Amino acid sequence: MNSSLFFDSSDLFSSFIRPRERVYVVSDSQYAEVQRAQAERQIQTLEARAADYQRNLDVVQATITELKTEHGLLAPAKEEATAK
């Protein structure tokens, strides 16, 4: 029996379910520009993250200093000028 004569409901939407592969052809200069733009975005993201980490570090260090001051845990300052 020829199977093409029968309707197969599983094949009805198979072309919609399976994604089709696409191939894009771009020039070397366009590809380099896309890579440069992507690198710039990544650098901006990393710089923003670093700035955020620095702000958090400043807050933590200030809190540590405040706690040490309140509880007398700061080491006495060295008086180098009088020792010489």
| Residue with tokens 């440069």, as numbered in its chain | 36
Residue pair 67/73 in contact (Cβ under 8 Å)? The answer is yes
For the chain, give every domain's residue range.
20-69
pLDDT tens digits for range 32-71? 999 999 999 999 999 999 999 999 999 999 999 999 999 9
Q: Which residue has the higher pLDDT, 22 or 83?
A: 22
